[in-house]
Amino acid sequence: MRKVLVTGSAGFIGFHLCRLLLDEGFDVVGFDAMTDYYDVNLKRRRHAMLHQSARFRCVEARLEDHAALSALFAAEHPEIVVHLAAQAGVRYSLENPRSYLESNLVGTFNVLECAREHAVAHTLMASTSSVYGANTVMPYAEKHPTDHPLTFYAATKKSTEIIAHSYAHLWSMPVTMFRFFTVYGPWGRPDMALYKFVKGILEGTPIDIYNHGDMYRDFTYVTDLVRGIRLLIDAVPQRPEDPDTTPEWDTLSPVAPFRVVNIGNSDKVRLTDFIDAIEAECGQAAIRNYMGMQKGDVPATWADATQLRELTGYAPATPFREGIAEFVRWYRDYFNV
């Protein structure tokens, strides 16, 4: 049976990925520190659902604890590692940059060290569309420059891409980096827009809308996203014998078994259309508090998902109204409202 170690297994994306992998018969080892960035009960509820499978087990520890991580690798010998644990969130990185330094840089370094020591066959790690920073050329393609991050969060994620490339090159470790675009769906994060909007609308409290609603996001439904991750597990990068033969769409490094892949819906949705759809689904109007642009924020994101489609034959496609309906159903059920 194929064994996958998923870091951040109690997190939003990690939970959905673990569920999919368990459904597909993988042996899944979780790793999560249950950090208190948001409601720990939500994380515990997600883990409790995963524990319904006898093929799931997990360790609760921090990525920065190299000894704990290393002991887990030694005990489990995972064939595949999907590293999703991180201090996420763009805005919080203005308030608490140190937690990004610790979780994202020290933590990711420890994962790479363990993957190297234990000869993991494929290491896949989460980066973000935020690395495209101030770019205005749309849709964002992986080969566009990513040298101008606007937040410390983006800077840490971009750094992990570079660090991972050096490991892939030096130790011939296959590494795939994902760049995710605004992921949403059931069991979603309380710090993200959809959750906050639904909460505000159902409770009758104002919702903050940045840049006066003149924002665009490539909202990616979580079930689609984890399907993309699952398929990329089998798209193992290999150092090219002749880099000149690498197709134009492929980001494969000329000197390492390493690629960076966008996972996005390739559909740029205006924030006010997103909110209109939430109101329709909730059957209630929002109290809209229009605000200016937030420091470090970008007005638009939009993914070019050509590479994902070429590598896997798949591209996310859930229309945002359907995804919102699923989220609102989950939210009402979870909070009994």
With contacts defined by CB under 6 A, how many residues of the chain interact with ligand NAD?
27
Q: Are strands 206-209 and 3-7 parallel, antiparallel or unpaired?
A: unpaired
Q: Tell me the pairing of strands 27-31 and 3-7.
A: parallel
Residue 235, beta-bridge partner list = none
Position 133, amino acid = G
Give the residue closest to ligand NAD by C-beta: 11
CB of 40 to ligand NAD, least distance (A): 8
Burial letters for 153-187: b for 16+ Cβ neighbours within 10 Å, e otherwise?
A: bbbbbbbbbebbbebbbeeebbbbbbbbbbbbbbb
Q: What's the closest the beta carbon of residue 78 comes to ligand NAD, in angstroms?
A: 16
User: Which of 84, 164 has the CB closer to ligand NAD?
Assistant: 84
Q: Which of residues 111-150 bind ligand NAD (CB under 6 A)?
A: 126, 128
Which of the following is catalytic: 153, 184, 195, 331?
153
Stretch near ligand NAD under the rule CB under 6 A, chosen from 175-183, 251-259, 274-282, 311-319: 175-183
Binding mask 69-108 for ligand NAD (x = CB under 6 A): ---------------xxxxx--------------x---x-
Of the candidates 180, 197, 210, 258, which one interacts with ligand NAD according to CB under 6 A?
A: 180
Length of the chain: 337
Please provide residue 180's backbone torsions phi and psi, each rounded to the nearest 5 degrees. -85, 150
**Which is nearest to 84 in space by CA: 210, 215, 222?**
222
Report the distance separating Cα 255 and Cα 72, nearest Å.
30
Count of alpha carbons within 13 angstroms of residue 216, beta-carbon side: 13
Considering only 182-190, 249-257, 261-269, 305-313, which stretch makes contact with ligand NAD by CB under 6 A? Answer: 182-190
Which bin fits 242, alpha (ψ -120 to 50), beta or left (φ > 0)?
beta
Q: Report, in Å, the least distance between residue 234 CB and ligand NAD.
A: 20
* Contact flag: residue 177 with ligand NAD (CB under 6 A): no
**Calpha distance 127→169 (Å, rounded):** 19
Closest approach, Cβ 54 to ligand NAD, in A, equals: 22
For position 158 contacting ligand NAD by CB under 6 A, the verdict is no
- Reply yes or no on whether 153 is catalytic: yes
Binding mask 28-67 for ligand NAD (x = CB under 6 A): ----xxxx-------x------------------xxx---
- Nearest approach in angstroms of CB 12 to ligand NAD is 4
Residue among 4, 12, 81, 261 that touches ligand NAD (CB under 6 A)? 12
Q: How far is the CB of 34 from ligand NAD (least distance, A)?
A: 5
* Catalytic residue numbers, as ranges: 153
Binding site for ligand NAD (CB under 6 A): 8, 10-14, 32-35, 43, 62-64, 84-88, 103, 107, 126, 128, 180, 182-183, 189
